Amino acid sequence: MRKFLLIPDSFKGTMSSGEICSIMEDAIINNYPDAEVISIPVADGGEGSVDAFLKAMGGEKVTVTVKGPYFEDMEAFYGVIDQGKTAVIEMAACAGLPLVEHNPDPSKTTTYGVGQLIMDAIHRGCSKIIMGLGGSCTNDAGTGAAAALGIIFTDTAGNAFIPVGGSLKDIAKVDISKLLPELKDIELITMCDIDNPLFGETGAAYIFGPQKGATPDIVKELDAGLKHIDQVVQKDLNLSLANLKGAGSAGGMGFGMVAFLGSSLQMGIETVLDTVKFDEMLTNVDYVLSGEGKIDTQSIRGKVVIGIANRTKKANVPLIAIVGDIGDGIEEAYEKGVSGIFSINRVAVEFKDAKKRARQDLYLTVDNVMRFIKRIDER
């Protein structure tokens, strides 16, 4: 009996990782009706990440009342996996862009609720917290979450306040002495797949501000605020993190998670693979199937497929990559451990048309590879 392990990234804007798993499984069962198929939908840290972890590992969804983007009370959630030891939080649950659909303004919104979710997970007894960034409506550099966990930001007059994007510039001092003491015993991992620094042309405000509703003037203000909080952190915490890769993710949340809460930033796929104990799962697996919307030279520098290849190679399990487009110059992927790369482009059409056929083409492409494997195995 064959054993297959499916762990595809989403095809961004086309199919979710879970949907891809389901289509791949159908195509496998069409050829190997008795096969054992294990699906691991890949969380990218954004909306749906908690569900992806719960689907892959089982666990419980916890609902908590916390502050929303405008400090309003709201119901948010996080996931508890690994026999209650690990919490998975997606910041979008209480600081997500869909929550401010009608009045987005990253100069006014807070990540305070995210801090409350962390607090709740700690009080529940979790010793490890995985934080998913992505899909945020905030630009507060994580100061809101930090404030919720006890960090005190004061202005020049010495008054404590909870900063938002527009008031980062008013922070004169940051005091971490009242930070929730339990945090130091918690393993806090932040999933982060983007490289942007905190501020500047490629920073959080200029790159992601506009899609969160910031006008050019507000972008400028937000960027100045991020620059300012970096100086305060340098002065008071003796940390220089503005150019840390990913500091600029989620409106500076990447920066804040590291600066205020002592988190590590980790590639999302590595977090997923570690969390699901991927290396152990590979035992007796005949084929791993992964994939992503496009494999290109950028993917080779550490996205989903290559992250998985590093591990399947060590375990000597063939890795089949099913992708949308195959970019030029990706031969290195084979050296890294990918056994075969198959595009779902079955007819020569533009992406806008290919997208409409994606589900069918994915099924047929996996079906073809399965038929082929079966034929070679039978020889």
CB under 8 A: which stretch of 98-106, 110-118, 141-149, 332-340 binds its own copies? 332-340
Question: Does residue 40 belong to the site contacting its own copies (CB under 8 A)?
Answer: no
Q: For 158-170, b where at least 16 C-beta lie within 10 A, e where not — what string?
A: eeeebbbbbbbbb
Q: How many CB atoms within 10 Å of residue 171? A: 22
Which residue stretch of 63-71, 99-107, 213-221, 318-326 sits at the interface with its own copies (rule: CB under 8 A)?
318-326
Contact between 234 and its own copies by CB under 8 A: the answer reads no
d(CA 133, CA 172): 27
70 or 351: whose CB is closer to its own copies?
A: 351
Beta bridge partners of 168: none
- Out of 318, 336, 359, 363, the only residue in the binding site for its own copies (CB under 8 A) is 318
- How close are the terminal C-alpha atoms of the chain, in Å? 17
Among 34, 73, 185, 377, binds its own copies (CB under 8 A): 377
- Which of 170, 339, 359, 363 lies at the binding interface for its own copies (CB under 8 A)? 339
Stretch that binds its own copies, among 69-77, 127-135, 136-144, 338-346 (CB under 8 A): 338-346
Nearer to its own copies, 102 or 352 (CB): 352
Of 22, 127, 310, 345, which one interacts with its own copies (CB under 8 A)?
345
Which 277-316 residues touch its own copies, going by CB under 8 A?
A: 316
The residue (of 184 and 334) whose beta carbon lies closer to its own copies is 334
The reply on whether position 28 binds its own copies by CB under 8 A is: no
Specify the amino acid at residue 18.
G
66 lines the binding site for its own copies (CB under 8 A):
no
CA distances from 274 to 7, 8, 112, 281, 305 (A): 13, 16, 28, 11, 15
Q: Is 369 in the site for its own copies (CB under 8 A)?
A: yes
373 contributes a contact to its own copies by CB under 8 A: yes
Residue 157: exposure state from Cβ atoms within 10 A (0-12, 13-18, ≥19): exposed
User: Of 218 and 373, which CB lies nearer to its own copies in the complex structure?
Assistant: 373
d(CA 361, CA 352): 14
Q: How far is the CB of 284 from its own copies (least distance, A)?
A: 13
Burial-class residue 315 by CB neighbours within 10 Å (0-12, 13-18, 19+): middle
Q: Which of 325, 356, 359, 362 binds its own copies (CB under 8 A)?
A: 325
| Using rule CB under 8 A, residue 376 touches its own copies | yes
CA distance 74 to 373: 51
Say how far apart CA 286 and CA 233 lie, in whole Å: 50
The DSSP output letter for 171 is: -
In whole angstroms, the minimum distance from the beta carbon of 349 to its own copies comes to: 6
Site for its own copies in 4-23 (CB under 8 A): none
Q: How far is the CB of 1 from its own copies (least distance, A)?
A: 16
Least distance to its own copies, CB of residue 26, Å: 14
User: CA 323, CA 303: separation in Å to the nearest integer?
Assistant: 13
| Options 277, 301, 349, 356; binder of its own copies; rule CB under 8 A | 349
- Between CA 205 and CA 7 the distance in angstroms is 33
Tokens coding 243: 């150019």
What is the β-pairing status of strands 325-326 and 294-295?
Answer: parallel
Rounded distance between C-alpha atoms, residue 137 and residue 81, angstroms: 27
Joined together, the tokens standing for residue 274 give: 């570690």
DSSP code at position 9: P
Considering the rule CB under 8 A, would residue 150 count as an interface residue with its own copies?
A: no
Q: Which stretch binds its own copies (CB under 8 A): 67-75, 219-227, 260-268, 365-373?
A: 365-373
Interaction site with its own copies (CB under 8 A): 316, 318, 320, 324-327, 331, 334, 339-343, 345-351, 353-354, 364, 367-369, 371-373, 375-377, 379
